[in-house]
Chains A and B, each alone.
Chain A
Amino acid sequence: MRVFIAARGEVAIRVAKAVRELGWLPITVYTDEDRVSPHVSAGWLAVKVDSYTDPDELVEAAISAEADIVHPGYGFLSEKPEFAEKVLDAGIAWAGPSPKAMRLLGDKLEAKRLAEKVGVPTLQWCTANNPSQAARCVEKIGSPVVLKAPRAGGGRGLRIAYNPWEAAKLYRIVVREASNGFGDSVSSIVVERFIESPRHIEVQVVGDADGHVIHLYERECSIQRRRQKIIEEAPSPFAERVRGLREQLLDYALRLAEEVEYSSAGTVEFIVDASGNPFFIEANTRLQVEHGVTELVTGVDIVKSQLIVAAGRKLAYRQEDVKIRGWAIEARIYAEDPWRGFAISTGTIEAVRFPQNPWLRIDHSIVEGLRVSASFDTLLAKIIAYGWDRGEALERLSTALMDTVIAGIETNIDLLRVLVRKDWFINANFTTQTLEQNLAKLLEEAKQRRMLVSQIAERIGLLPQPHPRQHLLEAPLSHGWPWPPTWQ
Chain B
Amino acid sequence: MAGHGRPHGSRARIVDVSEHAPGVYKVRISFDNGKEVEIIAKIEGDTLITPFGAYHVPSLASRIFMESSERAAYKPEAWLVRIEGEHIVANLPVRVIEVLTKPGEKVSRGQVVLLVETMKIVSEIRSPCNGIVKHVAAEGSTLDKDSRIATIECL
Contacts and interface: CB of A to CB of B under 8 A. Distances in A.
Interface string B1-32: 00001011101101001000000010101000
A242 interface: no
Contacts of A341: 76-80
Interface string B34-65: 00000001010011111111111111110101
Interface string A151-192: 000011000000000000000110011001100000000000
Interface string A221-262: 000000000000000000000000000000000000000000
Contact of B14 (A155, A344, A408, A459): A459
Interface residues of A, number: 50
A464 B57 CA distance: 10
Interface in A459-479: 459-460, 462-464
A174 B49 CA distance: 45
Interface string A423-453: 0000000000000000000000101111111
A463 B61 contact: yes
A35 interface: no
A343 interface: yes
Contacts of B153: none
B59 A407 contact: yes
B98 interface: yes
Nearest to B65: A447
Interface residues of chain A: helix, strand, loop or mixed (majority)? helix
Contacts of B80: 341
Contact of B59 (A156, A172, A340, A408): A408
Contact of A403 (B8, B54, B124): B54
A449 B53 contact: yes
A399 to B, nearest CB: 9
B54 A374 contact: no
A335 to B, nearest CB: 13
B115 interface: yes
Interface string A284-302: 0000000000000000000
Contacts of B72: none
B63 A350 contact: no
Contacts, number: 132
Interface stretch (A39-47, A121-129, A412-420): A412-420
B121 A156 contact: yes
Contacts of B43: 460, 462
B76 to A, nearest CB: 7
Given A405-B54, A407-B56, A452-B12, A156 B120 contact: yes
A454 interface: yes
Contacts of A155: 121
A455 B76 CA distance: 30
A454 B122 contact: no
Interface in A370-406: 374, 398, 401-405
Contacts of A454: 60-61, 63
A459 B65 CA distance: 20
Contact of A176 (B9, B65, B117): B117
Contacts of B56: 350-351, 353, 405, 407-408
Nearest to B44: A353
Given A173-B122, A350-B56, A457 B46 contact: no
Interface in A352-375: 353, 374
A405 B43 CA distance: 13
A445 B48 contact: no
B73 interface: no
A410 interface: yes
B155 interface: no
A140 interface: no
Contacts of B61: 454, 457, 463-464
A314 interface: no
A421 interface: yes
A339 B115 contact: no
B131 to A, nearest CB: 22
B97 A463 contact: no
Nearest to A455: B14
A22 interface: no
A456 interface: yes
B122 A417 contact: no
A231 B11 CA distance: 28
Contacts of A463: 57, 60-61
A404 B47 CA distance: 10
Contact of A453 (B46, B53, B92): B53
A156 B122 CA distance: 9
A398 B121 contact: no
Interface of A: 155-156, 172-173, 176-177, 180-181, 339-344, 350-351, 353, 374, 398, 401-405, 407-408, 410, 413-414, 417-418, 421-422, 445, 447-457, 459-460, 462-464
A-B pairs with lowest CB-CB distance, top 8: A341-B79, A407-B56, A407-B59, A351-B56, A449-B52, A459-B17, A181-B120, A343-B79
28 contacts: A172-B98, A176-B117, A177-B120, A180-B122, A341-B76, A341-B77, A341-B80, A351-B59, A374-B119, A402-B52, A404-B54, A407-B59, A413-B53, A418-B7, A449-B8, A449-B52, A450-B52, A452-B12, A454-B61, A454-B63, A456-B25, A457-B60, A457-B61, A460-B25, A460-B48, A462-B60, A463-B57, A464-B61
Given A342-B79, A457-B61, 16 more contacts: A176-B122, A177-B117, A351-B47, A421-B5, A421-B7, A445-B9, A448-B12, A450-B52, A453-B50, A453-B60, A456-B25, A456-B41, A456-B48, A457-B57, A459-B27, A460-B48
